């Protein structure tokens, strides 16, 4: 067996510095890397306050950027909706044949009222009155200096159709009063005097008494006024006297929106033939299968039935279906009117009768509208009165509930 080769001592002495010179940088780099890893490892266990602060600032910046992005996106959608509303506003102003002055002041009213979509001012007298109230508060002094603006507002009201509302639309402002309405005036002593509404202007309105104006009804005195509106009800309001005209027995009072209705109104009902769809949302309280009666158990919750509305008013409808819906059931009603769709109108079945024609049996249901928004109710009322005006001879006499 051969022996391993051995280096000559002189060669060994010469090679050792070369090997050490080659390995020293490598060992130094390894030691440095190990030190860095040790520092990093220990850093995860003890993050410095500065590091934590920088981390927190970074996270807050990211969240803030996300919030700003969402806000900008929402604002963009809102601006788009607002722009569309103003486009419809311009179209409606043209349809109503508003003058440039009337369009400008209506635009200012919308802006003061903070209406979410400008075209809504044409749809509801309640929305208009809310916005007008804010406009008058902010511009009272200017309007008093130039009272021609009040005349402009009156003409605008008439073109919008908010000066004489249908009897089924409740009054929300004394600016909607009609001249000639009967009034009972009660002075501070409790004496009742009869009169009528006169000179309804945008700034004020007047009551003309049948007899002379008594000393108890003077400027600054508070009077109670009871107004009877035909087909609607009785409204009561308490107002201060701002001026009197003794020769014509006229008492002037300011406008107000705090009207108290003391008497429920009747609903004008007309015949219609409108498709409808209802969804059962609740059964009568305490309902059991045994208490269902001759109509049977009725449809289940969530069941959808299609039928037709036979008549319509602001307070309800008569609808025909091929299946019976027992009295007391709560329904969600969907139907369309010209230019608008009404969805989710909650109603209650007040009465149900069977109608047999030939070999076919249908069921007619009197539905009472419940919890309806005022704007939706006003759309129904306007449709009812417009159809009544146009088709009264074709459809026969109207009925009062």
* Amino acid 106: pLDDT: 96
Confidence (pLDDT) at 294: 53
**pLDDT tens for each residue of 321-334:** 999 999 899 999 99
Per-residue pLDDT at 139 exceeds 80: yes
SS3 category, 15: helix
pLDDT tens digits, one per residue of 149-194: 999 999 999 999 998 888 778 889 999 999 988 898 998 888 888 8
* Residue 68 pLDDT: 81
Confidence of residue 72 (pLDDT cuts 50, 70, 90): confident
Q: What is the pLDDT of residues 331-376, one digit of tens each?
A: 999 999 998 899 999 999 999 988 888 889 999 999 999 978 878 8
> How far is residue 182's CA from residue 162's CA, in Å, rounded to a whole number?
20
pTM of this prediction?
0.53
Of 289, 293, 269, 291, which Cα lies nearest the Cα of 366? 269
Q: Is it the case that residue 275 has pLDDT exceeding 60?
A: yes
The residue among 258, 305, 247 whose CA lies nearest residue 279 is: 305
Task: Give me the pLDDT at residue 266, please.
Answer: 57
Which residue from 247, 268, 253 is spatially nearest to 316, judged by alpha carbons? Answer: 268
Beta bridge partners of residue 89, listed in sequence order = none
Note the residue count of the chain. Answer: 401
Q: Who has greater pLDDT, 78 or 179?
A: 179
Domains of the chain from N-terminus onward: 65-163 (no CATH), 174-261 (2.40.10.220), 268-400 (2.40.10.220)
- What per-residue confidence (pLDDT) applies to 289? 60
Structure tokens belonging to residue 57: 């600032």
Q: pLDDT band for position 292 (50/70/90)?
A: low
Q: What is the pLDDT of residue 233?
A: 75
Question: What pLDDT, on a 0 to 100 scale, did the predictor assign at position 111?
Answer: 93
Q: Which helix (H) or strand (E) holds 63?
A: helix 49-95
């Amino acid at each position: 067996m051969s022996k391993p080769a051995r280096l000559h001592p002189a060669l060994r002495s010469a090679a050792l510095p070369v090997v050490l010179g080659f390995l020293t940088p490598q060992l130094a780099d390894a030691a440095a890397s190990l030190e860095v890893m040790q520092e990093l490892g220990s850093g995860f266990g003890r993050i410095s306050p500065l590091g934590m602060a920088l981390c927190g600032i970074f996270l807050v910046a990211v969240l803030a950027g996300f919030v700003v992005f969402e806000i900008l996106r929402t604002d963009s959608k809102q601006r788009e909706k607002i722009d569309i509303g103003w486009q419809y506003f311009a179209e409606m102003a043209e349809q109503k044949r508003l003058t440039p002055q009337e369009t400008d002041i209506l635009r200012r009213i919308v802006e003061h009222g903070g209406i979410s979509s400008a075209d809504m001012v044409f749809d509801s007298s309640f929305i208009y009155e809310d916005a007008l109230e804010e406009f008058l508060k902010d511009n009272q002094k200017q309007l008093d200096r130039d009272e021609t603006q009040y005349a402009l507002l009156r003409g605008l009201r008439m073109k919008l159709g908010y000066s004489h509302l249908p009897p089924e639309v409740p009054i929300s402002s004394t600016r909607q009063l009609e001249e000639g309405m009967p009034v009972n005036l009660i002075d501070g002593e409790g004496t009742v005097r009869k009169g009528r509404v006169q000179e309804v202007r945008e700034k004020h309105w007047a009551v003309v008494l049948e007899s002379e104006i008594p000393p108890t009804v003077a400027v600054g005195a508070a009077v109670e006024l009871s107004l009877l509106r035909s087909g609607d009800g009785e409204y009561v309001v308490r107002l201060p006297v701002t001026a009197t005209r003794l020769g014509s027995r006229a008492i002037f009072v300011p406008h107000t929106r705090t009207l108290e209705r003391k008497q429920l109104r009747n609903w004008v009902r007309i015949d219609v033939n409108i498709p409808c769809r209802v969804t059962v949302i609740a059964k009568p309280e305490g309902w059991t299968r045994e208490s269902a009666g001759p109509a049977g158990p009725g449809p289940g919750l969530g069941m959808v039935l299609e039928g037709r509305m036979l008549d319509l008013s602001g307070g309800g409808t008569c609808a025909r279906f091929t299946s019976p819906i027992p009295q007391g059931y709560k329904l969600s009603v969907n139907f369309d009117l010209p230019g608008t769709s009404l969805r989710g109108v909650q109603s209650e079945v007040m009465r149900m009768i069977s109608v047999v024609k030939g070999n076919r049996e249908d069921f007619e249901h009197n539905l009472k509208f419940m919890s309806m928004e005022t704007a939706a109710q006003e759309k129904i009322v306007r449709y009812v009165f417009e159809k009544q005006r146009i088709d009264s001879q074709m459809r026969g006499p109207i009925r009062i509930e």
